[in-house]
Structure 1
């Protein structure tokens, strides 16, 4: 079937699904494959549960007239998403980076939402499957789209850019994330820079924070022409405090805005959202209030109170750059409570795993925390600098220790890679 025919089916459906557990009546089921699953086997089940059609790529599963046989289900999903995107003549903002992608997306969505009907990536659906699904959920009345793009190897951002065709874009930062897949720091720089490659090739606009020398260097290297700089201009926000939460003033230098998140790195995220909002005509006061009102609830810089204890839950993900920023910021945090850090393994670091965990241990040792708790096999490399740290390698032990310790009047920083799942400690404290 030609993509135009499939697109007509999509337009007459109630949407796209790839999960038989969440099928809605009238949806089109795409039978994706992975290393450990083959959804072709569930095509008939999807139809029985109410799907209007099932897109498959194995002929033995295409006997039902409601099954659409294609060469490759994933490639077809991506092509269909790009076809849908091409029907919109609106700004599409693509963003990527080593850290802060989702926070930037959430802040920007709220700022632009003051003036426009915004469609944005849900959660962290930012990969080769999530980006197409995000695009295919764009409603006809969408006025601006924000597409978050994640990657753990080179050429992935290039592929995602080809699918979503951003008209504008920015890179949050260049840090030590997914070093194993990217092949080191220079590989990260090259991989994330693929967004700028797309923007330059198609004469689209890049937003660049002038206070970030790594991003500025990348722009200069690529000789980009269409660049909107911010951060040092007369319209930049002014940070007044970064702890315990960020407070700032607008360029008008009148009202003071108090936010729900802390740290200079989060202020830079706000600076970006404010600048992009300004570019698209969002009034200063409305943009600033939107930033102040944002209260994270996704384990990203989320503050949770339990009894007399406070938790800065930053446990959604971790890499050396984001871990260093969080630890340093927590060290500066103003509080009357004792400070404790619970830090979990950082994954996907390859041959620098030992080195980066040891460096983290040294950084933590310089912060004068009252309690240090380390979790995971890799964290043993941090112990050389933290002889008084409590160290655990299994959840049962760390949970029991936390319950027995009966902490009170303590402020915790909780951070680790997604696979560590450190947010589980909340259930035992």
Structure 2
């Protein structure tokens, strides 16, 4: 945070200094006790129930902004206290003030899949010649928004923030902090139905991006995504840019091929063609690259320069990483995030890389589907059948629905269902050989699934050329 005096915060919040010195300098701000990291912080007492008042003494000197003079504040007689009529109004006045200090590109990225990779691609391109504030990894919780905002200072030249949707209103709140000038929706699949309840409500939650842009600025959309097409755009007064693999896209990819350690394709933009290589396998990575190029082009980076910078990008661990596996097999480790949309992409990659190999898919349960969990595990089973997987492993009671639905769809492969991880590794080792390609699909918090993928690795990464793949794979 750019340092501010207590007197400045007093002016911003329109409060009254009832204790302490207005000349004290503040270097950070927080509204939750758990988010305190240093002394000389202004603490907005919005979340009083979570405060450990005794431990709070360790962070003194502090400055408090409050609408209620709590008895516990008597222990902080040397700390400035600013009293306000409405603590929420005071907090958001401070947030608005700080955001308005910066006239730089703010890019907000949301979507069911690809938002972390897209955000990282954008960051990688932009940070070659400027300081960029960006979400760390996939740490996209609303609790991170204030620290990310305050991490911006006078040397920052762009911000790229991943804006997650766990429930309706999340995206609106993200955008309230950052007021993005460019908004991206990578795609809209099925996820977070435990809070959003219906697919329609989930789509509407993603569509909060339009209001987040204040119906101006630039909105970048996937022209090929069916759920995105249902968003009502009539009231949006800003610029809409489409990326995709069909002729309706502004940034259009064609001649998509697998290459060593990534994908190459031709980008068609306003009658010109640009060769592009992006590290990372799969059609989904082409979409991510198109989106990133479109975003940085809006910021002012020429397409030729953007494509040049893309080549040195390094993928996140466990994002569809390809390894040489045990017994000379091939392993796709995709154990960072799982939902029906990402499973569809992973199965497509498995099919693309197989080239006659025995295809083994190890799928865990997908969480956060609420009362729709059985239905969507069954849909995943239909995906398995459509991709002609040879051996299917499911792990978890609900995941067993994947196998049952695949069989109903006409699947004739081998199905192995496990309620827990016990016995899975042993059974896999009896099936895997040098002619096998194995997909392990799970999420980062499932430590057992992550550990399984690790056990199946021979210890080094491989690439498409090692698999003797034909180059042109996607039409």
Offset from partner CA, 1:147-201 (integer Å, 9 cap, x none): 1111121122112211221122121112111123112111011111111123244
Q: What is the aligned counterpart of 1:357 among 360, 372, 377?
A: 377
Following TM superposition, by how much is the alpha carbon of 1:283 offset from its aligned partner in structure 2, in angstroms? 2.5
Following TM superposition, by how much is the alpha carbon of 1:117 offset from its aligned partner in structure 2, in angstroms? 2.2
Question: Does the CA-based 8 Å contact 1:112-1:277 persist in structure 2?
Answer: yes
Higher share in helix = 1
Question: Is 2:418 the counterpart of 1:392?
Answer: yes
Offset from partner CA, 1:240-266 (integer Å, 9 cap, x none): 215884212344546x54433122222
1:358-373 correspondence to structure 2 within 5 Å? 358-373=378-393
Question: Does the CA-based 8 Å contact 1:371-1:389 persist in structure 2?
Answer: yes
Question: Is 2:247 the counterpart of 1:247?
Answer: no
Who is 1:96 aligned against?
A: 110
Question: Does the CA-based 8 Å contact 1:208-1:227 persist in structure 2?
Answer: no
- SS in structure 1 opposite 2:107? strand
Following TM superposition, by how much is the alpha carbon of 1:92 offset from its aligned partner in structure 2, in angstroms? 1.0
Question: Is 2:72 the counterpart of 1:45?
Answer: no
Who is 2:237 aligned against?
A: 225
Question: Does the CA-based 8 Å contact 1:28-1:51 persist in structure 2?
Answer: no
Question: Is 2:445 the counterpart of 1:428?
Answer: no
Moved more, 364-373 or 298-307: 298-307
Q: Distance in 2 between matches of 1:416 and 1:2?
A: 51
Question: Does the CA-based 8 Å contact 1:27-1:53 persist in structure 2?
Answer: yes
Supply the RMSD in Å over aligned alpha carbons. Answer: 3.7
Following TM superposition, by how much is the alpha carbon of 1:281 offset from its aligned partner in structure 2, in angstroms? 2.1
Any unmatched runs of 5+ in structure 1? none
Higher share in strand = 2
Q: What is the aligned counterpart of 1:416 among 418, 422, 442?
A: 442
- SS in structure 2 opposite 1:240? strand
Question: How many residues are matched?
Answer: 421
- SS in structure 2 opposite 1:238? strand
Q: Distance in 2 between matches of 1:239 and 1:10?
A: 61
Closer, same or farther: CA 198–234 of 1 in aligned 2, 3 Å: closer
Normalised by the length of structure 1, the TM-score is: 0.83
- SS in structure 1 opposite 2:219? strand
Closer, same or farther: CA 197–13 of 1 in aligned 2, 3 Å: closer
Question: Is 2:194 the counterpart of 1:194?
Answer: no
Moved more, 210-219 or 66-75: 66-75
Normalised by the length of structure 2, the TM-score is: 0.75
Who is 2:70 aligned against?
A: 59
Offset from partner CA, 1:394-416 (integer Å, 9 cap, x none): 23433454567675564322222
Closer, same or farther: CA 394–236 of 1 in aligned 2, 3 Å: same
Question: Does the CA-based 8 Å contact 1:236-1:275 persist in structure 2?
Answer: no
Q: Distance in 2 between matches of 1:227 and 1:138?
A: 26
Q: What is the aligned counterpart of 2:130 among 108, 113, 116?
A: 116
Q: Distance in 2 between matches of 1:401 and 1:159?
A: 47
Following TM superposition, by how much is the alpha carbon of 1:52 offset from its aligned partner in structure 2, in angstroms? 4.7
Any unmatched runs of 5+ in structure 2? 1-5, 13-21, 408-412, 457-475
